[in-house]
């Protein structure tokens, strides 16, 4: 098979387009850092580019690693047995090569940002790789996945300033709870398989109906964290309007999924959450733009 076709299949395997989920939150963290440190946004175009490269590199490495590690499990699951590695359209060797390349891209981007980013890069990689093991021993693997995405805004802050402001951790917490919530919803599809295969998840531990309530609580915690974030940075009404848009989208997401009807999980997972992250970023970026750089 030609290299470029294998690369295209690999990008499809890791759902490359879903980088949009966490990337807007990372960019929000970067813009907050620029605003709070009285920096001129026009001077940080290159840093923002390296933040995007680092984010995509880390996520690509983590997703491909997850597909490799779960290949034998995916082969036994009727929902996932046609994924690329179990179906034989991609080899594990090529997938490992993609992981290695993505790691190098991530490390190069981290080094281009600043020394602290480069020093912390192995910690970030360890976290995102560790997630793939957690479903084998804890029902709270959803929160580990959430943290894997949640570190992105804090990492973006460090990328801009070379330091960390504890206030940005409100956004880390918000992304953690948001991701955990929609991952619980998504994992409801595998309730029966997880039980038969001995895998761990909140739906398997508590049942689908209770797991959906836990997902709602996670998303409620996300909203509380976003409000705290807005207040801690003294943002304006547009940031609150953005939070309101997120609330409406999450309410719609939860209306799509019932304990006895999971037929619309994909719409809830893929479509709605893409709108959540993009609309959040647009509202908050507009708030910071109209407010202007602090003097």
Alpha-carbon torsion (246, 248, 254, 256), positive or negative? negative
Q: Looking at residue 249, what is its pLDDT?
A: 96
Phi-psi region of 15 (alpha: psi -120 to 50; beta: other; left: phi over 0): left
CATH of 3-291, one of 3.20.20.10, 1.10.357.140, 3.40.50.300, 3.30.200.20: 1.10.357.140
Residues 6+ apart with CB under 8 A from 88: none
pLDDT at residue 41, rounded to an integer: 67
> Which residue is associated with the tokens 């709602």?
216
Residue with tokens 């082969």: 75
Greatest CA separation for the chain: 60
Residue/partner pairs of 232-235 with CB below 8 Å, 24 or more apart? 232/167, 232/170, 233/32, 233/35, 233/36, 233/167, 235/284, 235/287, 235/288, 235/291
Q: How far is CA 41 from the centre of its chain?
A: 25
Distance CA 32, CA 39 (A): 10
Nearest to 15 by CA among 89, 88, 67: 67
pLDDT tens across the length of the chain (295 residues):
788 788 888 888 887 767 777 899 999 999 999 988 877 666 678 889 999 999 999 999 999 999 999 999 999 999 999 999 999 999 999 999 999 999 999 999 999 999 999 999 999 999 999 999 999 999 999 999 999 999 999 999 999 999 999 999 999 999 999 999 999 999 999 999 999 999 999 999 999 999 999 999 999 999 999 999 999 999 999 999 999 999 999 999 999 999 999 999 987 778 899 899 999 999 999 999 876 544 3
Does residue 59 contact residue 69 with C-beta atoms inside 8 Å?
A: no
Those residues with Cβ within 8 angstroms of residue 36's Cβ, 6 or more apart along the chain or in another chain: 165, 233, 294
Residue 31 β-bridge partners: none
How far is the C-alpha of 7 from the C-alpha of 14, rounded, in Å? 11
Predicted TM-score (pTM) of this structure? 0.94
Token readout for 106 is: 């991530």
Q: How far apart are CA 104 and CA 29, in angstroms?
A: 24
Return all residues near 225 (Cβ < 8 A) that are at least 6 apart.
170, 171, 173, 174, 177
Q: 211 with 141: CB under 8 angstroms?
A: no
Instruction: Evaluate whether 55 touches 27 at the Cβ level (below 8 Å).
Output: no
Other C-beta atoms closer than 10 Å to the C-beta of 186 total 21
Q: What are the residue ranges spanned by the domains of the chain?
A: 3-291
Distance separating alpha carbons of residues 1 and 282, to the nearest angstrom: 41
Distance CA 204, CA 192 (A): 8
- For 38, the enclosing helix (H) or strand (E) is none
**Contact between residue 199 and residue 135 where contact means Cβ atoms under 8 Å apart:** yes
Q: CA distances (Å), 219 to each of 78, 106, 133, 158, in order?
A: 29, 30, 24, 26
Residue 258 β-bridge partners: 261
């Amino acid at each position: 098979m030609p290299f470029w076709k294998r690369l295209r299949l690999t990008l499809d395997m890791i759902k490359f387009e879903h980088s949009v989920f966490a990337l807007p939150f990372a960019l929000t963290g970067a813009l907050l850092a620029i605003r709070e440190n009285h920096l001129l946004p026009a001077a940080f175009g290159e840093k923002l580019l390296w933040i995007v490269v680092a984010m995509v590199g880390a996520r690509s490495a983590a997703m491909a690693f997850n597909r490799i590690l779960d290949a034998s499990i995916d082969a036994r699951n009727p929902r996932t047995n046609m994924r690329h590695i179990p179906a034989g359209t991609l080899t594990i060797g090529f997938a490992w090569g993609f992981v290695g390349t993505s790691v190098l891209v991530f490390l190069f981007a981290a080094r281009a940002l600043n020394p602290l980013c480069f020093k912390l890069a192995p910690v970030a990689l360890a976290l995102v790789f560790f997630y793939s093991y957690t479903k084998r021993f804890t029902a709270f693997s959803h929160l580990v996945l959430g943290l894997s995405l949640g570190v992105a805004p804090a990492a973006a802050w460090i990328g801009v300033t070379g330091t960390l402001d504890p206030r940005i951790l409100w956004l880390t917490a918000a992304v953690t709870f948001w991701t955990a919530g929609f991952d619980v919803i998504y994992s409801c599809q595998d309730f029966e398989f997880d039980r038969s295969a001995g895998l761990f998840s909140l739906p398997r531990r508590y049942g689908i109906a209770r797991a959906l309530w836990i997902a709602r609580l996670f998303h409620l915690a996300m909203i509380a964290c976003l409000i705290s974030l807005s207040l801690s940075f003294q943002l304006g009404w547009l940031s609150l309007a953005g939070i309101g848009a997120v609330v409406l989208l999450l309410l719609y997401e939860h209306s799509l999924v019932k304990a006895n009807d999971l037929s619309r999980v994909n719409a809830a997972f893929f479509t709605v959450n893409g709108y959540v992250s993009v609309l959040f970023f647009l509202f908050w970026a507009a708030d910071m733009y109209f407010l202007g750089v602090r003097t």
